[in-house]
Amino acid sequence: MILRQASDIRPSEIADKSVFVTRRDFIKAAMAAGAGLLMPSNYARAGEKLEGYRRGVVAIEDKATPYKDVIGYNNFYEFGTDKSAPAANAGRLMTRPWTVVVEGEIRKPKVYDIEALLKLAPLEERIYRLRCVEGWSMVIPWIGFPLGELIKRVEPTGNAKYVEFVTLYDPTQMPGQRLPVLKWPYIEGLRLDEAMNPLTLLCLGLYGEVLPNQNGAPVRVVVPWKYGFKSPKSLVKIRFVEQQPFTAWNRAAPSEYGFYSNVNPNVDHPRWSQATERRIGEEGFLVRKRKTLMFNGYADQVAHLYAGLDLKKLF
């Protein structure tokens, strides 16, 4: 481009700002589209294999739920409230670049790049039951490492009583967030000792590959002894706080969804029973519902966290 003198430029050549900005956006979009064709996609990285994880670190007798059900039957209201909506709409979620801000009452706050998280601790395969509050359940072979591995590296201070999790808020990528079905961004939380429990998983994959978008890519938490909504997805922030976090479902319906929400067949949801559950993907059409287990079958590992608590009051 030949540099011209300022006086050479006629006023008519100077684009009006609105036109200038629109043109720039257009060029950006065109380049992004073109780049998308040439470069590895930022979108929908499902299918990418995870290497180097230890298999079967936690395994159970229950049969794993078929992969197509795990990725096709989801509650992820950020992408719509139908069970099939997340699989249909989560393709537009960009999982790279991705960072998780870890902050709050800790000595070593840090912004972790997702690639750093993938290398933070040895990856393990953990096959967990997941029980949804609606009354269905799955068995999923997750891949990740104990959340405690991250927690000990950031060194919580004496003021840290709870851990708060924040999901991405971006209505352009998450169309369900355009409606106030829940308060966005999705907030979840655990007591610090719950977060430190060996079962609590910082999860990066399932079924041998990275997390599909509809399952909470690229990083989520899995808390197998609580109802599924307490396993937040697509995390962007982990805060260590003094006050109990005001979680999304507790805020939406405090009489129905408590902070703890431990799986408990003896404490019904106000509108339906929690005594039984439908295991998704079981062979045969006419299969009975199964009895729900206390703490989703993880009582041995977590019951001590709630010793002496009235679980009907602190549901």
Partner 1 sequence: MKYAPYLKLASFFVALLPLTRLVYGALTDGLGANPIEYITRDLGTWGLTFLLITLSVTPLRLLTGWNGLLRLRRMLGLFAFFYVGLHFLSYVWWDQFFDWQAIWKDVMKRPFITVGFATFVLLIPLAATSTNAMVKRLGAKQWLFLHRLVYIIGIGGVLHYWWLVKRDITQPLIYAAILAGLLGFRVVHRYANETENKLDSHAPAPQRA
CB of 277 to partner 1, least distance (A): 11
By CB under 8 A, name the binding residues for partner 1.
68-69, 72-73, 77, 81, 83-84, 134, 136, 181-182, 252-253, 268, 271-273, 275, 278, 280-281, 285-286, 288-289
CB of 211 to partner 1, least distance (A): 18
**Residue 95 near residue 42 (C-beta atoms within 8 A):** yes
CB of 270 to partner 1, least distance (A): 9
3-state class (DSSP) for residue 18 = helix
Distance CA 315, CA 264 (A): 9
Long-range contacts of 208-211, Cβ-Cβ distance < 8 Å, separation of 24 or more: 208/49, 208/50, 208/125, 208/141, 208/143, 209/46, 209/47, 209/48, 209/49, 209/50, 210/45, 210/46, 210/47, 210/48, 210/49, 210/50, 211/46
Q: Retrieve residue 32's tokens.
A: 């992004």
The nearer residue to partner 1, 116 or 253, going by C-beta atoms, is 253
Among the listed residues 194, 205, 206, the one whose alpha carbon sits nearest the alpha carbon of residue 151: 194
The nearer residue to partner 1, 229 or 306, going by C-beta atoms, is 229
The nearer residue to partner 1, 136 or 295, going by C-beta atoms, is 136
3-state class (DSSP) for residue 54 = strand
The nearer residue to partner 1, 72 or 91, going by C-beta atoms, is 72
The nearer residue to partner 1, 129 or 237, going by C-beta atoms, is 129
CB of 101 to partner 1, least distance (A): 28
Distance CA 180, CA 178 (A): 7
**Residue 167 near residue 138 (C-beta atoms within 8 A):** no
The nearer residue to partner 1, 118 or 187, going by C-beta atoms, is 187
User: Looking up tokens 């602190």, which residue turns up?
Assistant: 314
3-state class (DSSP) for residue 64 = coil
CB of 66 to partner 1, least distance (A): 8
DSSP lists the bridge partners of residue 43 as 94
The nearer residue to partner 1, 117 or 133, going by C-beta atoms, is 133
